Structure 1
Amino acid sequence: MTSDLAAARARAFEIIKKKSFVRGEITLASGAKSDHYFNMKPTMLDPEGAKALSELILDRLKDVEVDYIGGLEMGAVPLIGPLALVSGLQGRPIPGFFVRKAVKGHGTRQRIEGVSDLSGKRVVVVEDVTTTGGSAMSAIEALREVGAEISLVISILDRQSGATELYRDATIPFASLFTSAEFLKEASSS
């Protein structure tokens, strides 16, 4: 990792710790209870956070064949635009898309927005926080229905609660920038 990327990772960690990591009992999207929570929206919507996360994700994609990058609403949406922008600035433009949780009842009635045809295209699915992997699998199913090939699922943060095993069993490559253990370790040593 270059010194610029190491600095981006350290800065992203600090922004997540300050803006997105919360202690206290919470019910997760999976239905499980937890004593900590990660709400990545404040980090993804922070200019410095969006830039650092985009640089880190795009670095992870340097050896991945990818035509488009996107993910399930709402978790991936705040980062899709910055990823597309930074990829273009880096000379490797990767257009974005997002997958609706349900088909909208008006307009074009599309479940996948931002691109008209993903058939045969290699896509990377971005997720803000991964717990069991079920949310991203919903997006993957919709993408496969239109003929997309899944190159990778990448999460900002893996809660280490089954997603790695889910993707391994489904033979889908998975990576994360951070793990919950990194933040819990930091919190316990403070």
Structure 2
Amino acid sequence: MTTANSRARLAEIIRTRSFGRGEVTLASGRKSDFYFNLKPTMLDPEGAALLAELTYEALRAEQVDYVGGLEMGAVPLAGAIAQLSWLNGRPIAAFFVRKKPKEYGAKLAVEGLAKNESLKGKRVVIVEDVTTTGGSAIKAAEAVRESGAEIAMVLTMVDREEGAADSFAAAGLPFRSLYKASEFLNA
């Protein structure tokens, strides 16, 4: 399938499985009359494969070592991208950032790294399922920077176009999205 065909098919899956109308309160606290819940798309076999394919394509020109982001939205994305990158012979490892470090065990904020692994000096892409203001991705980026990594970019699957681009620019984080909310609202 061509990239354009993959993108069109994924948009159809998102529209069917993950997009809806009706008043909701977003993670940012804002009210909205539409929503994206990307979990049904991320956990659908075809949806997961297409998200990984299109994200991997978007990262192809970047020299990145790791991909990950804030739990829960980034976990299925990072895992699918890591698997596809391995199958394509250009491995990109995955991790995730806890919203709050566990109070037991290793008490880590960044999970998924082996004992001898570190993000220090590594180029990392923060992935997110849906972005509104950018607060969740910025929180993940801060934790990753504290680990010594360089943030190559923040890449979201759907940008709600409600201020994230400005937030990321102010934080010095390059930002890209696979889709914009207007693509679904105006369809």
Answer whether TM exceeds 0.5 for this pair. Answer: yes
Q: Distance in 1 between matches of 2:123 and 2:54?
A: 20
SS state at 2:92 partner: coil
Give the % identical residues. 58
Give runs of aligned pairs for residues 71-110 of structure 1, distance below 5 A.
71-110=69-108
1:52-111 deviations in Å (ceiling 9; x for gaps): 011111111111120000010011112121111111111211010000001101211111
- The answer for unaligned runs of 5 or more in structure 1 is none
SS state at 2:2 partner: helix
Taking structure 2 as the reference length, the TM-score comes to: 0.96
Aligned to 1:62: 60
Q: Distance in 2 between matches of 1:88 and 1:5?
A: 20
Aligned to 1:171: 172
1:90-133 deviations in Å (ceiling 9; x for gaps): 12110100000011012111110111311111100000000000
- The answer for unaligned runs of 5 or more in structure 2 is none
Paired AA for residue 88 in structure 1: W
Q: Distance in 2 between matches of 1:83 and 1:128?
A: 13
Aligned structure 1 segments of 4 or more residues deviating by more than 4 angstroms: none
Paired AA for residue 144 in structure 2: L
Q: Distance in 1 between matches of 2:91 and 2:47?
A: 20
SS state at 2:95 partner: strand
Alpha-carbon offset, residue 169 of structure 1: 2.0
Paired AA for residue 134 in structure 2: G
Paired AA for residue 6 in structure 1: A
Number of residue pairs the alignment of both structures matches: 184
Alpha-carbon offset, residue 176 of structure 1: 0.2
Aligned to 2:128: 127
Paired AA for residue 112 in structure 2: G
Q: Distance in 2 between matches of 1:147 and 1:81?
A: 22
Taking structure 1 as the reference length, the TM-score comes to: 0.94
Q: Distance in 2 between matches of 1:138 and 1:81?
A: 20
Alpha-carbon offset, residue 146 of structure 1: 1.0
Q: Distance in 2 between matches of 1:48 and 1:33?
A: 31
Alpha-carbon offset, residue 171 of structure 1: 2.0
Paired AA for residue 16 in structure 1: I
